[in-house]
Amino acid sequence: MVADGTHFNGLCCVDYGNAETKNLDDGATTMEAIYTGNSRTWSAGQGVGPWVIADLENGLFGCADEHSCPNAPTVEYPFLVAMLKGRSGGTFALKLQTTYDGARPRDYEVMKKQGAIILGIGGNNNNWAEGSFYEGVMVSGNRDDAVEEQVQANIVAAGYGSKTASATHRNSTRTAKPRRFHKSVVA
């Protein structure tokens, strides 16, 4: 997903990903979505946030620790690219800069995902969080890192943050300078 790295708050939850089919909290393990914000209710990352972490329902996790994830950096860029890989065998990962790749939190080893797509709200249909979403994709299965890097290169080439990616203005061509992106992947 591509989102704004500067538009967020500490409330729950501006999510994108797999969620419950009825917009009701069906309990832990019923979601697997990307959260961007700085809520400290569950596991928080370094600094003041925002962080890219996984919403697994009834918990936000940047790692298996329920309170602190020191490898989850504060997003310091106007745009962020985040990818969440939910794997079988009780693991998940955040990519492109791998901030976590390991065991799921306790009681989240076996997921009960329902397959709905959520955007901008929490699994219980709350809308307290703030954020800006630009685009995203959900796929079945997990792609290797080379494919993810190609996707990232394509996103950078799109020219997010430029007034024009390459526009003609008054008989001259201006090409935007590439912008910095925060790359974070949870696998």
What does the alpha-carbon distance between residue 87 and residue 140 come to, in Å, rounded to a whole number?
11
Reduced to 3 states (helix: H, G, I; strand: E, B; else coil), residue 138 is coil
Please provide the size of the chain in residues: 187
Retrieve residue 70's tokens. Answer: 């020191």
Any idea which residues carry the catalytic annotation?
57
> Rounded to an integer, what is the distance from CA 132 to the centroid of its chain?
12
| Strand intervals (E) in 50-97 | 51-55, 60-61, 79-87, 91-95
Reduced to 3 states (helix: H, G, I; strand: E, B; else coil), residue 172 is strand
CA distances from 96 to 84, 93, 144 (A): 9, 10, 11
